[in-house]
Chain A
Amino acid sequence: MSASTTGTAQWVNPLRDPRDKRLPRIAGPCGLVIFGVTGDLSRKKLMPAIYDLANRGLLPPGFALTGFARRDWADQDFGNVVYEAVREHARTPFRQSVWDRLAEGFRFVPGSFDDDASFDQLEKTVRDLDRVRGTGGNHAFYLSIPPGAFPVVCKQLARSGLSAQNGDQWRRVVIEKPFGHDLRSARELNAIVNDVFPEDSVFRIDHYLGKETVQNVLAMRFANQLFEPIWNAHYIDQVQITMAEDIGLGGRAGYYDGIGAARDVIQNHLLQLLAFTAMEEPVAFSSDELRAEKIKVLNATKLVGPLHETTARGQYEGGWQGGEKVRGLTQEEGFDPESRTETYAAITCEVATRRWAGVPFYLRTGKRLGRRVTEIAIIFKRAPHLPFDSTMTEELGQNAIVVRVQPDEGVTMRFGSKVPGSQMEVRDVTMDFGYGTAFTEASPEAYERLILDVLLGEPSLFPVNDEVERSWEILDPVIEHWAAQDAGPDPYPAGSWGPESANRMLARTGRTWRRP
């Protein structure tokens, strides 16, 4: 309960009780307006997530969904588009009775972003919804559009009065990455958005933060006695955070060319994962306290130099990947054949605190790598003294805790165990916790969680301005360093785990990349 009960601190709802854990948090009366409703994200993620929320009974009665796009559609046409998307992508089973209620709240406003009349029409639609559906003047605007269009849309929202918040009513804006392409542009973007919406009404979606496994990092670290005592430089040798994709960039040239892997992934997802992994314990599990700790740890995060030795970048080449002939980046449709955009990026960070002194955090991401996987690997130091001789422990690696963010969400622990037999021989074994086997279907999609949090006004899973700007501050020197080089990025074969330079980057300190 936050914005929905603003100014009513003394009111205690007699039907609520903290011990009543069955009662779900249902959003108060509200509506959602999606800009860019014809896009992939909207069809594959947003619309199904909204249906799934409705199916779980978490949307308010009278919820309204308004689409805005340059299409000549009536409300029904829009309804059909949502219907197709829901049938194809929703997680929960289709129920006609839920759908009928949800579909009553669909509206569509055709128009382009620079057209005053369509925004006036949108304003009228929203006001009408307050009257007919009882959305109570509470509306969220989801900007599923290229950042280039943010200024004009924000201006239009302000001009048409859509962004104006009166009294108890709220207006919120949801924006997707990229949040700029360097510190300067991020600041400009923030200024544009904050000009229209105050910072506490801005929700920046980083869908990784909506994933159960990422939130579980906090539960694992702070709810258990087992892990926190060894969660420091005394025991941990290194941390490797990986986000790998096996797909290429065909069809995404417009967005990706000139941006590259570091800006696309490291600045947001990987640095956020780093923050969750490295942060100190928050005093309370509230959004303010969580953010305070995240900001602290990001402020302590620095690049390790010299950058030509501690960073690596690559670009995939054509070839055979997993039984399929694939193109190299420079042959992909829409990319400049001379493109120097990196599709693989790896950097080394340190967290300058007593807890983490001397522990390198290796962050890497890439396209057309071996397989699709995102994970946080905490790799421990070897035991300082072994009563076993070296032949007995030849096959013993370093202990590790691996948080698998996706796919196959879960946690793996690796440690040594005696090989059965008369000889003393120790070999690595793994112990596994999988969400798939421990709590199967209850895991909601990240977007479900995040959209619900927007409607509830619960900000803890959304990075704030400061976090975004700080992340650019960390990353900018790497991008400038790379831009200043004559050579590079280094080519790597599609389906491999990146360029040779990435291996050299770790070999410098006698380490190797984990094969995820």
Chain B
Amino acid sequence: MIVDLPSTNISKVNKKLVQLRESGGVLALGRVLTLVIITDDGATTEDAIDAANEASREHPCRVIVLARGYREAAPRLDAQIRVGGDAGASEVIVLRGYGALADNGAAAGMVMPLLLPDAPVVAWWPGDAPDVPAEDEVGRLAQRRITDALACADPVAALAQRRVGHRAGDTDLAWSRLTFWRALLATAMDAPPFEPITHVTVVGERVSPSADLLAGWLAARLDAAVERRPATTGKGMVSVRLERASGPIELVRPDGRVGRLSQPGQPDRLVALARREVRDCLAEELRRLDPDEIYGAALAGIGRVADLDAPVSAPTLATSS
């Protein structure tokens, strides 16, 4: 069900929510968190809501969408409440603020009365994010602040800004896109031979915040020189090579779908390693609401990575499909 409340204010929205709950049963009772999505009113707004609805199947939440409209328009608030089938397992409140209400300060004031009591608050900027999310008016309300460097107009600059503006509780979807890569590498090192890594090469698209973060993570965790190189072909992360005395561990994904893990003395193994979608990353982000120290360390580790220009070409994998 979608209820439109044009030209309204937050107490009317709140009243309507209570009314909907009384007529429709227990809507907001089992919610475990409030997710605030901060975006500009436009085509991408619905994509972000869809991703949040998908993620809400795992974490029923109240989603508050701040879709900032024209700043030059007369001040006005249009609200929309979606519950039931239109909102996944969540309830979605879209707030379209115009004029002065499109400002950050006013936005925080609109969100505050709608936060669920006692439940954690997560802020998510699906596109461009403030320089220091933790100091943003809305960001300050949240325990966890999620950005997405890859979705920013300039991903390289965005990642550089994350390094400067990082505070505990920040995290970035470029980091959650790496989880399977990191898990495969860590699992490979769970098994013998137990030797230290001497040299690391991380290859990815020239503009790939994820590849930078993976290099930063390895630099932070391993006592070894880490190189980051651009790939001639392929999207996002393309390959990682961990050198050690008995031979390298290598994980290659030339086509963005299938990876190959190679280790000395073992047959090459193919593994499904598709690029992760935003909704999966978001669901993972919502699973843990404590600060991600490892992400902080990976950001800091980027400073220790040697950024080299010589491109590397990835092999093609022989797969049946």
Contacts and interface: CB of A to CB of B under 8 A. Distances in A.
Interface of A: 1, 4-5, 8, 11, 13-17, 19-24, 26, 28-29, 54, 57, 60-62, 95-98, 100-101, 104, 131-134, 136, 168, 433-434, 437-442
A134 B267 contact: yes
A19 B269 CA distance: 29
B138 to A, nearest CB: 25
Contacts of A101: 258, 270-272
B260 to A, nearest CB: 8
Interface string B221-233: 1110000000000
A440 B89 contact: yes
B270 A61 contact: yes
A20 B183 CA distance: 10
Contacts of B179: 22-24
Contacts of B222: 14-15
Contact of B190 (A4, A22, A96, A133): A4
A355 to B, nearest CB: 32
Interface in B148-165: none
Given A14-B222, A15-B189, A100-B319, A440 B58 contact: yes
Contact of A29 (B58, B59, B191, B270): B191
Contact of B191 (A19, A20, A96, A136): A136
Interface string B186-221: 110111101011000000000000000000001001
A8 B191 CA distance: 10
A123 B71 CA distance: 72
Contact of B293 (A19, A131, A438): A19
A100 B186 contact: no
B288 A21 contact: yes
Nearest to B284: A22
A24 B183 CA distance: 6
A489 B191 CA distance: 56
A61 B271 contact: yes
A132 B221 contact: no
B221 A15 contact: yes
Contacts of B192: 8, 168
A28 B186 CA distance: 10
Given A26-B184, A95-B272, A100-B320, A439 B59 contact: yes
Nearest to A138: B191
A10 to B, nearest CB: 8
Interface string B278-321: 00000010011000111000000000000000000000000111
A132 B257 contact: no
Contacts of A442: 58, 287
Contacts of A4: 190-191
B123 interface: no
A437 B269 contact: no
Nearest to A58: B183
Interface residues on B, range: 35 or more
A61 B189 contact: no
A28 B190 CA distance: 8
B182 interface: yes
B185 interface: yes
B191 A28 contact: yes
Interface string B123-152: 000000000000000000000000000000
29 contacts: A4-B191, A13-B186, A13-B189, A14-B222, A14-B223, A15-B218, A15-B221, A15-B222, A22-B284, A23-B182, A23-B186, A26-B183, A28-B187, A29-B266, A54-B272, A60-B187, A61-B259, A62-B261, A62-B269, A100-B320, A101-B270, A104-B270, A133-B267, A134-B267, A134-B269, A439-B60, A440-B57, A441-B58, A442-B58
Nearest to B29: A437
B153 to A, nearest CB: 27
B107 to A, nearest CB: 29
Nearest to B88: A440
A15 B57 contact: no
B106 interface: no
Contacts of B185: 15
A134 B221 CA distance: 27
A275 to B, nearest CB: 30
Given A21-B288, A97-B274, A440 B60 contact: yes
A61 B266 contact: no
A4 B263 CA distance: 17
A100 B321 contact: yes
Contact of A8 (B30, B58, B194): B194
Given A14-B189, A62-B269, A100-B321, A57 B60 contact: no
A491 B221 CA distance: 67
B116 interface: no
Nearest to B271: A61
Contacts of B223: 14
Contacts of A19: 293-294
A13 B190 contact: yes
Top 5 nearest A-B pairs (CB, nearest first) are A437-B30, A62-B269, A61-B271, A61-B269, A11-B194
Contacts of B319: 100
Given A8-B192, A57-B180, A439-B59, A134 B266 contact: yes
B221 A22 contact: no
A23 B183 contact: yes
B39 interface: no
A435 to B, nearest CB: 10
Contacts of B182: 15, 22-23
Nearest to A131: B267
B32 interface: yes
Contact of A57 (B32, B183, B293): B183
Nearest to B294: A20
A1 B190 CA distance: 8
A96 B221 contact: no
Contacts of B187: 26, 28, 60
Nearest to A57: B180
A65 to B, nearest CB: 15
B34 interface: no
Contacts of B183: 23-24, 26, 57
Given A14-B221, A16-B186, A97 B321 contact: yes
Nearest to A8: B194
B176 interface: yes
B65 to A, nearest CB: 21
B244 to A, nearest CB: 11
Given A28-B191, A101-B271, A440-B58, 10 more contacts: A13-B186, A26-B184, A29-B191, A62-B269, A62-B271, A168-B192, A438-B30, A440-B60, A440-B89, A442-B287
A379 B29 CA distance: 25
Contacts of A168: 192
B58 to A, nearest CB: 5
Contacts of A132: 267
Contacts of A28: 187, 190-191
A22 B189 contact: no
B173 to A, nearest CB: 12
Contacts of B186: 13, 15-16, 23
A104 B32 CA distance: 41
B185 to A, nearest CB: 6
B27 to A, nearest CB: 10
A273 B217 CA distance: 43
